[in-house]
Structure 1
C-alpha cells in the first residue's frame, strides 16, 4: 500500500498503447492500476490508427510493443518524434534485444520494459513522465531567457540608436557654432569639443558593433582614432605606424579611454609635429594587468617635447587619468618617446 501511495498520480494519465495482443494490453493496464496509478489506456494496433491518435495533443505517454503487424516499433517511434517530439515513448516488448534497445534509446525512446518484468512498468512510466516534465520546464526556461535576451537586445539597439542621434545632433550644433564664432580662439575651443564628441561617438560605435556591450576593443579603437586624426587635422603630414596587441577591456572604460587617447593624440599632432613631417608610432600592450599606451617617433626635439607637454589640457588629462587610475608620463630622457600612459586593466576574454 505504501508503494501504491508513493506512485499515485495527482491526475488521470492518458496513455496511448500500441499493442496487437489484447491479453498483453490487459496485463499492461493491470500492472499500472495495481500500483495505484489512475490511467486511461487507449489501445491501437495499426499504423494509421496510431498516426491519427498522435494528432490528439492530450496524451501523456506512449507505450509500444516492438513487433507489430505491418510495421515495427522503431517506425512508430519515428512517427511519434515527428508529430509529438516532447511525448514520452516507452517500449513494452518481449522481443527487445539489447542492441535493439540501445538503438531505440539513440533514436529518442525514453525507456523500455520487458513484458516478463511488468512490475517495473509503473516506476518506468513515472520516471518517463518526470523526465518529460523536466525537459519541458528546461525548454520553457530557455524560451523565457531567450525572450528576456531579445527584449534586452531590442532595448540596447534602441538606446544605441538614440545615443547616435543625440551625438550627431550635438556635433551639428557645435558645427553651427564654429561657423558663427566671433573670434578664432572661440572657434578653436569649439573645435576641440567637437573632436572629443567625435571620439566618444567612435567609442560608442565600436562598443555596439555586434560584439555586445560587455567589452571594448581598445586596440582597434586606437588604430582607427589615429588614422582619422592624422588625416583630419590641418597642416599635419604624419604617417601612423602601429604596434598593437589585440586588447579588449570592460565596456565601462570605453568613454574615458576614448577621451584620454583622443586628448593625447590631438595634443601631440597639434604641438609636437608642428611644421614637419614625421611618424606617429603608437604602441599598446598589456603586461601583468597593466596596459601601456605609448606615442613615439624617430626623434622629438626638446622644443617639441616641451610644447606638447605644455600644450596638453592638464585639467582634462588629470581628470581622465584619475578616472582610469592611470599615469601619464612625458619621458625627458628618451627623445623617441613623447608620451606614455600606464593603467591597470582587466582584459575581457
Structure 2
C-alpha cells in the first residue's frame, strides 16, 4: 500500500494534540490521508465510511475512553492496528491495555515514536496477513491433493475392473476353445498359441494386481486382525501354482502352526506373495533341484520371517536397484518390475524392515522383520538394508 493511501483515523478531542500527531506523521510522509473525529457517533460513522487502515486514539475522551473505542472497533469487525495515546498512565494500566488488544501505547510527550511504531505495526500485520494467506493456500492445495487422490483411486478402480473383466472373459474363451481342440485331436500349433496367449493374459493380470496393491497400500490405514502365519503361507503357495516353474520348486516350510501375528493380513499376504513369486520365477534351470525354504518365529516382540532359495540370485551390479519402481533385474522373470517396490511400500506401512542378501547363481535370502502386534495405526519410517 502506498504511503499516501494509508488512511489513518485519529480520535482526539484536543485540536492542539491532533496537530502535534498530524505533524509527526507528516514528517515521515504518513499523513496523506488523516481523518479526525471526536464523538462516539463520528467514530462509528468513520469506521463504516472512511474504512481506516489504522486508528490512533486518545486515552480519555469526553464521551468514551480509548478502551471503549477499541471494543467498538472490534465489535464492528474492523481488525486494524490500534494505538492508544495518553498524557500519563501507570505501568499496570498500560499492561492491561495490551492484554485487551491494543498494538502500542504512546505518551504524548513521546509522540516522535508514533511514526516508527506505525511502521513496525503495519509490518507485523502484513506478516500476519501473508502467513494467513499462506496457510489458506496450503489448505486449498491439501484439498486439491485430496481431490486428485480420490480421482486417482476411482481411476485405478475403474481401469482395473474394465481391464480384468475382459481378461477373465478371454481366458475363459481360450480354455473352452483349447478343450474343443483337444477333443478334436487336432491340436497342432494351436495349443502352443493358446498357451502363449494365456501367459500374456496372466502377465497383464499380475501387473494390474500389483498396481492395485500399491494404490491400496498408499491410501489405506492398517487393518489389524489375528493371522496364522503357516496357514497364510500355505494359501499363498497354493495361489501361485499357475507359475510355469512352480512344479519344479520344492517348498520347505518350518513354521510353528501355533505362531500367530496381529497385523494387516492383506499387506502381509502381498509381501509373502511377491517374495515367493520371485523365488519361483527366478529358479535356476541348471540345478537338479530347486527349493525355497521359509521360516518364521517370534523374537523379542518381533515377527521374523526368513525366505531362502537356491535360484539364479541377483547380479552385484543390479542389487542396489531392486526396490526401484519398474526395475527388472533379470529377463528370466517377465513382469512390470513392481514386485519388490510394492513389497518395500507395504513393509514401510507395517513399520518393518527387510534385508535382501544375494549372490549371482548362488540364491537369495530375504529377512523380514515386523512388530509381532500393532497397537496404533501410525506407521513410522521403515529401514531397508541390502547386504551383498
User: Common fold, TM-score beyond 0.5?
Assistant: yes
CA 1:263 to 1:348, structure 2 compared with 1: closer, same or farther past 3 Å?
Answer: closer
Given the alignment of the two structures, is residue 32 of structure 1 paired with residue 35 of structure 2, yes or no? no
Per the alignment, residue 351 of structure 2 pairs with: none
Q: How far, CA to CA, are the matches of 2:156 and 2:233 in structure 1?
A: 21
Structure 1, unpaired ranges of 5+: 1-8, 212-216, 246-253, 269-279, 297-304, 330-338
Give a deviation string over 1:145-168, Cα, whole Å, max 9, x none.
Answer: 433333333333322321221122
Counterpart among 299, 312, 315 of residue 333 in structure 2: 315
Q: How far, CA to CA, are the matches of 1:103 and 1:295 in structure 2?
A: 69
Per the alignment, residue 242 of structure 2 pairs with: none
Given the alignment of the two structures, is residue 203 of structure 1 paired with residue 214 of structure 2, yes or no? yes
Question: Are the aligned partners of 1:244 and 1:284 in contact in 2 as well (CA < 8 Å)?
Answer: no
Structure with greater helix percent: 1
Moved more, 142-151 or 126-135: 142-151
Question: Are the aligned partners of 1:174 and 1:194 in contact in 2 as well (CA < 8 Å)?
Answer: yes
3-state SS in 2 of match to 1:55? helix
Per the alignment, residue 59 of structure 2 pairs with: 66
Q: CA deviation at 1:62?
A: 0.5
Per the alignment, residue 34 of structure 2 pairs with: 41
3-state SS in 1 of match to 2:4? coil
Q: How far, CA to CA, are the matches of 1:109 and 1:56 in structure 2?
A: 22
CA 1:150 to 1:244, structure 2 compared with 1: closer, same or farther past 3 Å?
Answer: closer
With normalisation by structure 2, the TM-score equals 0.55
Give a deviation string over 1:129-158, Cα, whole Å, max 9, x none.
Answer: 222222223333333343333333333332
3-state SS in 1 of match to 2:69? helix
After superposition, the CA RMSD in angstroms is 5.2
Structure 2, unpaired ranges of 5+: 180-194, 240-256, 280-294, 313-331, 345-353, 359-364, 370-379, 384-388
3-state SS in 1 of match to 2:13? coil
With normalisation by structure 1, the TM-score equals 0.60
Q: How far, CA to CA, are the matches of 1:187 and 1:341 in structure 2?
A: 33
Give a deviation string over 1:5-38, Cα, whole Å, max 9, x none.
Answer: xxxx742432111223333222222222244433
Given the alignment of the two structures, is residue 166 of structure 1 paired with residue 159 of structure 2, yes or no? yes
Q: Give 1:1-349 correspondences, 5 Å limit.
A: 10-56=3-49, 58-84=51-77, 86-182=79-175, 194=205, 197-209=208-220, 230=235, 241-242=260-261, 260-264=271-275, 294=305, 315=333, 327=356, 340-341=366-367, 347=381
Per the alignment, residue 347 of structure 2 pairs with: none
Q: CA deviation at 1:85?
A: 5.0
Q: How far, CA to CA, are the matches of 2:160 and 2:233 in structure 1?
A: 18
